[in-house]
Amino acid sequence: MKYEAIVMGTSLGGMDALRAILTVLPKDFLVPILVVQHLSARSDGFLAKHLNHLCKIQVKEADDKEWASPGCVYLAPPNYHLMVEKDGTLTLSVDEKINYARPSIDVLFESAADTYRDKLIGIILTGANGDGAIGLRRIKERGGLTIVQEPETAESPIMPNMAIKASKVDHVLPLDDIGQLLNRLIRRGE
């Protein structure tokens, strides 16, 4: 298989965007998906529980030193950066905020790009700041595939627009097309 992991980043409007993508994935999806959704530091885990209830694929908050396993979506816990180590384990950190956010999309994307290189798919979804643009560029520089939600379909187009300006993106797609593309890419190894 060509790809070994997927990373997604979102902010304002992210719950609906994640639901639109994750609900079309099968429970035996062949790669792990790592997600940063900007959340309040006081969030109570609702997002993971809500998405896990709606999706066929398992959705949970990531644990420190956990292996990123196929068929699971790992959400960065509130107030923790989520990173990927070279051996594929996940690490949580309370290092300083990046782009005013912890968790930061750039932190996840940059660590995943360095680990998975050309075997990574990076996706930027709706959001109201520039977090993720630099990380998506790193994924592209390391040979990974980059996807951005079409700004016109985003609740907040700022994050998709910033990502498109930061690098040459492989696919700019309406939200409803992203999950289907992932199914095709992972099933066929395109």
CATH number of residue 115's parent domain: 3.40.50.180
| pLDDT band with cut points at 50, 70 and 90 for residue 188 | low
Distance separating alpha carbons of residues 109 and 23, to the nearest angstrom:
22
Hey, what are 40's tokens? 């309040």
What CA–CA distance (Å, rounded) separates 20 from 23? 6
- pLDDT tens digits, residue range 2-37? 999 999 999 999 999 999 999 999 999 999 999 999
Are residues 113 and 139 in contact, defined by beta-carbon separation less than 8 angstroms?
Answer: yes
Catalytic sites, residue numbers:
11, 38, 131
Q: How confident is the model at residue 187 (pLDDT cuts 50, 70, 90)?
A: confident
Q: How many CB atoms lie within 10 A of CB 17?
A: 24
Residue 152's domain comprises: 5-188
> Does residue 155 sit in helix, strand or coil?
coil
Q: Tell me the whole-structure pTM to 2 decimals.
A: 0.95
Residue 138 burial by CB count (10 A; 0-12/13-18/19+): exposed, middle or buried?
A: buried
